[in-house]
Structure 1
Amino acid sequence: MSFYTSLSGLKGAQTDLSVIANNVANVGTVGFKRSRTEFGDLVSSSPMQSGNVAGQGTRLKSITQQFGQGGFSASDRALDLAISGQGFFATRSDGAGGRLSYTRNGAFGLDDQRNVIDARGNFLQVLPVDSYGVVTATGISASRNLQVPLTSGQSQATSNIDITVNLPSDAQLPADRAVYNTGNPYEFDRFDPNSYNFSSATSVYDAAGNELPATVYYTRTTAPAAADPNDPNSVPTTDSTWQARMFVGSTEVTGTTPIEMTFDGNGNLTAPTGGTTLPNIQPSGASGPLSLTVDFGTATRQAAGAFSLGNFAQDGFAAGQFDNISVGSDGLVTATYSNGDSQALGKIMMVNFANPAGLRQLGDASWSATGNSGEPLVGEASSAGFGVLQSGALEQANVDITEELVALISAQRNFQANAKAIETANTLTQTIVNMRS
């Protein structure tokens, strides 16, 4: 009998060693919770038996999870989350119809569809919120996958362009310069700097929000002239004229007729007096035709000094591109975009249980609900019964190496003692066998 009693102790010590070894092996696993073995003694007696009886060994009652708080390690990722206090993250496998599991491992990331997932590819669950971040529905049935939209808002094609420039009053006519340099008459060519005076560049947008390069070329065509002394009817001129040509990409959107700009002797713009509507042309790379109106305003002048661009404003824009994501201590997930928009995407659903020790282990520091754990209790971070979320941190395993090493020594001694007891029982049996009458 003592042989089997010691054998049960030997098996118990072996199980204890395995549990301790698993704790030590997972000391670096994020969100891991240590386990503890619990044993009970075996006693067999009949109802009519009186007095104490010798026990028959030990049995493993349970291996229980210890859900104590683990330490935090800092991270520079907004989707690295840690729970300070009670509660679990909820994740779902295979979309809306998948199985729910619960974890303290807050190392989340994005998949190719911009869903927030854990290391196993399960989707982080959130509660829906309104534009102010207030939860609009609660409970497991209200949970949904957290997905980060790539864009925000609608794009708008450029329709109006406002330009303010200062054109030098002493600028040379490219027509004279071309004849002087090449002997050929003036002809505009955007690839020939001698055929225009100045240029300015910016961007415009088509209806799909595609950004397209736009360049305006300024060419002086006439300058003030004195009266011809050989012509009695000749009178001096004080006006100057310039031509403005706009290209979007490689397409001239001003068409065959450039914008004619006229300045008086004081350098004031006298024509055009308002916006100039250009022909509808679809530049290369644009999703559709552009309908542009160019207005040089009243601040454009011809004056002494260098060419300068005072203003180049246009009313088109692309939809906002995803820029950043943040998670508040209450679990509110907010995405910000390049156009200044911000969207409340949901509140991270927190789950707790009446008996967390009754959860079933799934591996990878995750669990599923059982009858022993009770039904999941759904709530929000920083509310009653739930901990606070910390973004940019991860909860480490709650394994104390010193404590585990002491337990390891104790389990080893128990194993050795039971092995010695088996050896002693075997020696006694052998002695009895060898007895001779």
Structure 2
Amino acid sequence: MSFRISLSGMNAASADLNITSNNIANSNTTGFKESRGEFASVYQTSAYGLARNAIGAGVRLQQVAQQFSQGTIENTGKALDLAINGQGFFTMSNGGSFVYSRAGNFGTDRDGYVVNPSGHRLQVFLPNASGTGFDTGRMSDLQLSTADAPPRPTTRTTIATNLPGDANAPATATFDPADPTSYNYTTSMTVYDSLGAAHSQSMYFVKTANPNEWQVHTYIDGNAVGGPTTLQYSNMGALVAPATGDVTLPTFTPPGGAAPMDITLNLSDSTQFGNSFSVSSLTQDGHSTGRLTSIEVSPEGVVQARYTNGVSTPLGQVVLTNFANPQGLQPTGDNAWAETFESGQPRRGFGGSSEFGLVQGGALEASNVDLTEQLVNMITAQRNFQANAQMISTQDQITQTVINIR
């Protein structure tokens, strides 16, 4: 009996060494979670139950428990390297079935899908139809497109300017954009047509003979867009006409086959103060075509594609998954786990919500293995193995003594 007890102790120590060896081997594996051997005592039972003074029958390995403590987050500078600071797992598709991982070393395949080194595709919530959020009931593979971002024609321009209150009418009464003596001040901005071509929109401000009254002439690429628009200011310098500040310009048809441009010029932020002309803001809502320049991931897991035209487009929100019992997950290798009955049903979410941690872009979570602790465990397991082996040797000596009795 004692031989078997000691043998179970040697088997347990050997299993402990195997677990420790696996932990040490994966001390540099991205997103790896160490395991711990949990052992249980063994007692012989009979039809009458366990005797009051029963001697144990040894030990057995009860379970290999995964330890999902946080690993160190290390910055890498690579846009598609992701780390979770807190709870949750990345959700990935493996040929239609879902697997889960803490390793966020992602890249792209030849079709632009974001994948890990095993080819599992990262899952995201897609933007909703309104473009103001994400549809958390619909997951899809994250795919990066290298196609140009389409242009957007300018429909509204806004200028915030101050016109001097003490200005006089220009020397030349007839306005001519080529004659600086026929207007007081001018400024310009870039606008875009439906094909993404850039055009210059210029505004010329002319003081009239009437108090607090100005005229603005608008030109695009040197062509007049309608006639002058009268601007009226109060004796406090605020714009009073047009009341909303909007000036609807006549349609301008650019060359090159682009659609006609219908632009509204907004001057609601213009004022008439002091004795100097200034422009504090020039904005417009159009943009040219753009090429993908970078990918950024917010702490909430929103993946943004940035283009050369300054446009930022959300591609999706990284899906995080958690379980009631993460230790019940089944390791499948390649830094991934699969759902089991013991783990419970998956709970989906995104970074910073409910029970989920934040997503950090340009970083990876290192293995949570503490090498010093594992080396101590190795020594302890080795001593346990040696002690049980010594017990077998001692029992053998006792047996030989009994056999040799004359």
Is the TM value for this pair above 0.5? yes
CA contact (8 A) 1:152 1:341 kept: no
Cα contact 1:33–1:66 (8 A) shared by 2: yes
Contact 1:151 1:337 (C-alpha < 8 Å) held by counterparts? no
Work out whether residues 323 and 336 of structure 1, in 8 Å CA contact, stay in contact via their aligned partners in 2.
Answer: yes
Change in CA separation of 1:366 and 1:50 when aligned onto 2, cut-off 3 Å: closer
SS in 2 for 1:9: helix
Equivalent residue for 1:135? 134
SS in 2 for 1:23: helix
- The aligned amino acid for 2:133 is V
The one-letter code of the counterpart of 1:356 is P
Following the alignment from structure 1 to structure 2, what is the Cα–Cα distance between the partners of residues 401 and 53? 39
* Residue-by-residue CA offset, 1:244-285 (whole Å, 9 max, x unaligned): xxxxxxxxxxxxxxxxxxxxxxxxxxxxx99xxxxxxxxxxx
**Cα deviation digits, residues 395-415 of structure 1 (max 9, x gap):** 111111111111111101000
Q: Secondary structure at the match of 1:30?
A: coil
The count of corresponding residues between Structure 1 and Structure 2 is 283
1:40-189 paired onto structure 2 within 5 Å: 40-48=40-48, 50-94=51-95, 98-130=96-128, 132=131, 134-138=133-137, 142-154=138-150
Residues 108 and 119 in structure 1, CA contact (< 8 A), matched pair in contact too? yes
Alignment map for 1:251-330 (pairs within 5 Å): 319-330=289-300
Flag structure 1 segments of 5+ consecutive residues without an equivalent: 157-206, 210-272, 275-289, 293-316
Give the alignment's TM-score, normalised by structure 2. 0.65
- Show the counterpart of 2:353: 383
What code does the residue aligned with 2:16 have?
A: D
8 Å CA contact retained: 1:16, 1:411: yes
Matches of 1:332 and 1:84 in 2, distance apart?
A: 15
What is the CA-CA distance between 1:50 and the residue it aligns to? Answer: 4.2
Q: Which whole-Å CA distance do the structure 2 matches of 1:52 and 1:45 have between them?
A: 12
| Inter-partner Cα distance in structure 1 for 2:321 and 2:294 | 27
* Deviation at residue 133 of structure 1 after TM alignment: 5.1
In 1: Cα distance, 2:76 partner to 2:257 partner: 49
Q: Which moved more, 1:37-46 or 1:365-374?
A: 37-46
Residue 355 (structure 1) shift: 0.1
2:227 aligned partner: none
How many Å separate the matches in 1 of 2:6 and 2:70?
Answer: 37
Structure 1 residue 4 corresponds to structure 2 residue 4: yes
Whether contact under 8 Å (1:326, 1:333) holds in the other structure is yes
The aligned counterpart of 1:286 is none
Aligned to 1:368: 338
* TM-superposed deviation, 1:318: 7.7
CA 1:368 to 1:106, structure 2 compared with 1: closer, same or farther past 3 Å?
A: same
* Counterpart residue type for residue 149 of structure 1: S
Query: Paired residue for 2:304?
Result: 334
CA distance in 2, matches of 1:423, 1:343: 72
Which residue is equivalent to 2:34?
A: 34
Calculate percent identity across the aligned residue pairs: 42
Task: State the shift of 1:149 in Å.
Answer: 1.5
Deviation at 1:336, TM superposition (A): 1.3
State how 1:152-231 maps to structure 2 within 5 Å. 152-154=148-150
Structure 1: distance between partners of 2:107 and 2:349: 23
Letter in 2 for 1:83: I
One-letter amino acid matched to 1:387: G
User: In the TM superposition, what whole-angstrom CA distance separates every residue of 1:207-236 from its partner, at most 9, and x where no partner exists?
Assistant: 999xxxxxxxxxxxxxxxxxxxxxxxxxxx
Equivalents in 1 of 2:93, 2:11: separation in Å? 38
TM superposition shift of 1:430:
2.4
Partner of 2:63: helix, strand, or coil? strand
After TM superposition, give the deviation of residue 45 of structure 1 in Å: 3.1
- Which deviates more, 147-156 or 388-397? 147-156
Distance 1:291 1:406 in 2: 76
Matched with 2:160 is none
Amino acid at match of 1:85: G
Say whether residues 1:400 and 2:387 are aligned partners. no
CA–CA separation in structure 2 for the residues paired with 1:79 and 1:132: 23
Paired with 1:318 and 1:135, the residues of 2 have a C-alpha distance of: 26
Q: Does 1:19 align with 2:19?
A: yes
Aligned to 1:36, the other structure's residue is in SS state strand
Deviation at 1:132, TM superposition (A): 4.1
Tell me if structure 1 keeps the 8 A contact 2:149–2:307.
no
Q: Shift of residue 62 of structure 1?
A: 0.4
Q: 1:128 to 1:419 in 2, by over 3 A?
A: same
| Contact 1:133 1:344 (C-alpha < 8 Å) held by counterparts | no
Cα distance in 2 for partners of 1:115, 1:50 equals 63
Structure 1 residues 379 and 327: CA distance shift in structure 2, 3 A: same
Describe the superposition over 1:171-212 as per-residue Cα deviations: whole angstroms up to 9, x where unpaired.
xxxxxxxxxxxxxxxxxxxxxxxxxxxxxxxxxxxx999xxx
Larger radius of gyration: 1
TM-score by length of 1: 0.60
Q: Does the CA contact (< 8 Å) of 1:26 and 1:397 recur in 2?
A: yes
